Amino acid sequence: MTVPQPDAPRLEASGISKRFPGVLANDRIDFAVAPGEIHALLGENGAGKSTLVKIIYGVLHPDAGTLRWNGEAVEIADPHAARALGIGMVFQHFSLFEAMTVLENVSLGLDKAEDRRALAARVREVSQAYGLPLDPERDVYTLSVGERQRIEIVRCLLQNPKLLIMDEPTSVLTPQEVDRLFETLRQLAAEGVSILYISHKLEEIRALCDRATILRGGRVVAECDPRAETARSLAQMMIGTELKTVVRRDAGTTGTVRLAVDGLSVAAEALHGIDLKDISFDVRAGEVFGIAGVAGNGQNELLLALSGERLAGTAAALRIDGEAVGRRDAGERRKLGLCAVPEERNGHGAVPGMTLAENVVLSAHRRMGLLSSIFIRAGAAARFAGEIVKAFDVRTPGTAASAASLSGGNLQKFIVGREILQKPKVLVVSQPTWGVDAGAAAAIHQALADLATEGVAVVVVSQDLDELLAITDRLAVINVGVLSRAMVTRDASVEEVGLLMGGAHGLASEAVAAQAERESSVYVA
């Protein structure tokens, strides 16, 4: 019943404001998406991207401002209404039932029931038309993350959206999968579907998007053609200041071996978890070692096995400075100098309901001498917490604030800082800069580099390949619980690592061979 006005933008937001207690998340935001346009929404964490998108998708309601859909003012009461208008959204975190099939999951997400067979046919049709291969009968737990994302996309496409919102869609994909996704998105755009693409990966935005709206502190600070910008200029618009470049000393591959992992195998704890199979690698003093891989390939399991939260079968599977610690728990490994930063902050790296000073006691009570007999030295803990807050620029009213009151990025800075300031000998970090703004990410990278310079062995587990390529000396790829052979980062290319990330078992040697071949052909040329 809406009469589309030919020249009107598909979606136009004007003066959208939304206030939460203590923060103006969206401050009079104006922007428009034309039909068939791929429009980037760019901003640091906390810039207001999520709030804006939630308003568009009807999850939140604006305090002020209007949304126009094809030129007509609309009020979007809830996601159901948004879908009825033709707005589809693919969330960063999937909502899928692992024990059910693809088809069952798709049909659960639809607003009205559909005949099973007809739906299966439509799923096949859509998935073929857009290069999103999917078997409707497969159980979801057998699928890779990339395949799971396809389910979410297909689920949206089945409703013939006119605007597709993608929230950080590539954080879980291999570079090859990203390329394939981009092809799909371009095809959709060519058919007239508008795409609102939320990301903080600047290169991707430059490769994919026609326009970009940049948010900072809840406001639109710039609108530009990302293809005409550099990643650096985009980043500076995003954070509003100059970016610092991480200073790296030369690769320190000559130090003594501080962390030696030899034939580490750990059976999965959870149903549908990943078994770690015969993992071996060494990290030397002064070295930053990267572990790349698509999410859910055993990174969490590996981190738990390294930190001591899960024990290895034999003591010799893991050595810290030569001492066999495979059977020792996290507390004892920490005493020997192995500190760890887990991927999950709330509830794992920190206790949300406790204060920052208490959260310091969590992992630092031994190394920082925060106990006298069984009593906690509260003053010393608060002082150490204060040191962390200062050194890592954690934005908090004080060390008596609860961990839950910090934003994700600030809590990450706090946890990373807590482990670094304990002067570890080996530091294992998972996703060091996940959800952290660009400025803070650079600071964390610098801190890790400095740590290595001081002779610490640093292990970085990350899904962000660009991050690993930038800060590691060597890296290996984990895929379904198997770790590839380590390669020198300087000599590795995105394509090879990408192959390993998405690759089947045993691809490691092939990739290395392929690399050697390509290199020799370059020389010949």
Partner 1 sequence: MLPRLAALRIEARREIPRGLLYATPLLAVALTVLAGFLLFLAMGYDPGRALYHFFIAPLTSLYGWSELMVKGAPLILIGVGLAIGFRANVWNIGAEGQLTMGAVAGGVVALAFWGEETALTLPLMCVAGIAGGVAYAAVPAFLKTRFGVNEILTSLMLTYVATLFLSTLVYGPLKDPLGFNFPQSRMFGDAALLPVILDGTRLHAGSLVALAVAVAGWVLMSFTIVGFQVRVLGQAPAAARYAGFSAPRIVWFCLLLSGGLAGLAGLFEVAGPIGQLVPVISPGYGFTAIIVAFLGRLHPLGIILSGLLMALSYIGGETAQVMVGLPQAVTGVFQGLLLFFLLASDFLVRYRLRLRPAPAVQPRAQAAE
- Residues in contact with partner 1 by the rule CB under 8 A: 1-2, 20-21, 74-78, 80-81, 83-86, 111, 159-160, 162, 307-309, 329-334, 340, 342, 344, 346-354, 358, 361-363, 365, 371, 374-376, 378
In contact, 441 and 434? CB cutoff 8 Å: no
**Residues facing 488 on adjacent strands:** 474
Which is nearer to partner 1, 296 or 352 (by Cβ)? 352
Shortest reach from residue 377's CB to partner 1, in Å: 10
Which is nearer to partner 1, 114 or 210 (by Cβ)? 114
Shortest reach from residue 357's CB to partner 1, in Å: 11
Give the containing element (helix H, strand E) for 483: strand 482-483
Give the containing element (helix H, strand E) for 388: helix 378-391
Shortest reach from residue 457's CB to partner 1, in Å: 20
Which is nearer to partner 1, 108 or 378 (by Cβ)? 378
- DSSP labels, 98-134: TTSBHHHHHHHTSSS---HHHHHHHHHHHHHHTT---
In contact, 266 and 482? CB cutoff 8 Å: no
Shortest reach from residue 106's CB to partner 1, in Å: 16
Which is nearer to partner 1, 333 or 413 (by Cβ)? 333
CA distance 295 to 145: 7
Shortest reach from residue 474's CB to partner 1, in Å: 26
CA distance 111 to 420: 49
In contact, 238 and 213? CB cutoff 8 Å: no
* Joined tokens for residue 278: 């015969």
Shortest reach from residue 177's CB to partner 1, in Å: 29
Shortest reach from residue 85's CB to partner 1, in Å: 6
User: E-assigned strands of 316-357?
Assistant: 318-320, 323-324, 338-341
Shortest reach from residue 393's CB to partner 1, in Å: 24
Which is nearer to partner 1, 263 or 352 (by Cβ)? 352
CA distance 419 to 349: 10
Which is nearer to partner 1, 219 or 365 (by Cβ)? 365
Alpha helices per DSSP H over 60-110: 79-85, 102-108
Q: Exposure string (b/e) for 447-466, b if CB count within 10 Å is 16 or more? A: bbbebbeeebbbbbbbbbbe
Which is nearer to partner 1, 169 or 342 (by Cβ)? 342
DSSP annotation of 247 reads: P
Q: Among all chains, which residue has been given the structure tokens 């206030």?
A: 19
Taking Cα atoms as reference points, which of 197, 234, 199, 236 lies closest to residue 45? 199
* Joined tokens for residue 381: 């803990």
What single-letter amino acid sits at 141?
Answer: Y
Which is nearer to partner 1, 174 or 430 (by Cβ)? 430
Shortest reach from residue 449's CB to partner 1, in Å: 25
Which is nearer to partner 1, 64 or 378 (by Cβ)? 378
